[in-house]
Amino acid sequence: MSGAYDDRDGKIWMDGEMVEWRDAQVHILTHALHYASSVFEGERAYGGRIFMSREHSGRLLASGEAIDMPIPWSVDQIEDAKAAVLEANGFSDAYVRVVAWRGAGPDMGVSSKRNPVRMAVAAWEWGAYYGDAKMQGAKLDISKWKRPSPETIPSHAKAAGLYMICTMSKHAAEAKGCSDSLMMDYRGYVAEATGANVFFVKDGEVHTPLADCFLNGFTRQRVIGLLKDRQIKVHERHIMPEELEGFEQCWLTGTAAEVTPVGQIGDYRFEVGQLTRDIAEEYEALVRA
């Protein structure tokens, strides 16, 4: 599948019905377009099975609650919709995007209680998120934007509005020839990339930022489990930017990124070492088990 995302063949589940891809449209006065009242999940299907599917569906509902937008579908209904989309499009290996949002309705201001909550499920075939970096190691910029305090946003929701500074950071990184950007948090600690969590290796042990003001990704959680199964010590802690100089290996984790090695962050360089490769292979085996 190629071309603009609004001009493709295929089917999209929308508010309980399967519609033609090009007909999956919303009105210009949709509340989410103006006020970011939207949450979403990104998932991958391997061999026809969506990895951690029910966990993703549960998190979508939790994200909706976090932004005061109760989603009127159950986990089972969301699961059925995702399965139907894969079947309707004939996909086995695919990326699945579930999105829920406040639609157009009686309210067109900050308040939107009377507007309906809508939901759609789309899927498409999507290769490695970082392209060749999957093998060679991604190059990251360091963003000027910081992940905000949980006192200012629902930082553990997968909400569309929280990605605005991620888009800005990634655009700036791409302009410098980088694949992505590393973001610090509001205190100055290392946080995450624009759409992926980050891990570091030093002296055979693994260090990853404590997920106390950004999304604790499902891939992050499973990779920590893989490391512990290997009896590798994992430190979930606050990491200062100057510590990057002392780390030997680095990788990113996420549903889209899967496990992607990092070769450079700013002026800091890392080897694509054996542990990085081993974890990437183990994760690949896990999602296809």
Q: Which of 158, 202, 228, 233 is catalytic?
A: 158
Distance of CA 38 to the CA centre of its chain: 14
- Three-class SS of residue 174? helix
Give the E-state strand segments of the chain in sequence order: 11-14, 17-20, 38-46, 49-50, 94-102, 117-124, 138-147, 180-185, 190-193, 197-202, 205-209, 234-237, 249-254, 258-265, 268-269
The question of whether 158 is a catalytic residue gets the answer yes
Cα–Cα distance between 204 and 216 in angstroms, integer?
23
Q: Which amino acid is at 5?
A: Y
Task: Map tokens 């498409």 to a residue.
Answer: 124
DSSP strand pairing (234-237 vs 205-209): parallel
- Three-class SS of residue 7? coil
- DSSP structure class, residue 73: S
- DSSP structure class, residue 22: G
Q: Which residues pair with 98 in a beta bridge?
A: 41, 121
Is residue 134 within 8 Å of residue 143, measured between CB atoms? no
Closest CA to 31 of 120, 140, 109: 109
Closest CA to 63 of 38, 81, 43, 42: 38
For residue 202, give every residue at least 6 positions away whose Cβ sits within 8 Å of its Cβ, in sequence order, or none: 246, 247, 248
Active site residues: 158
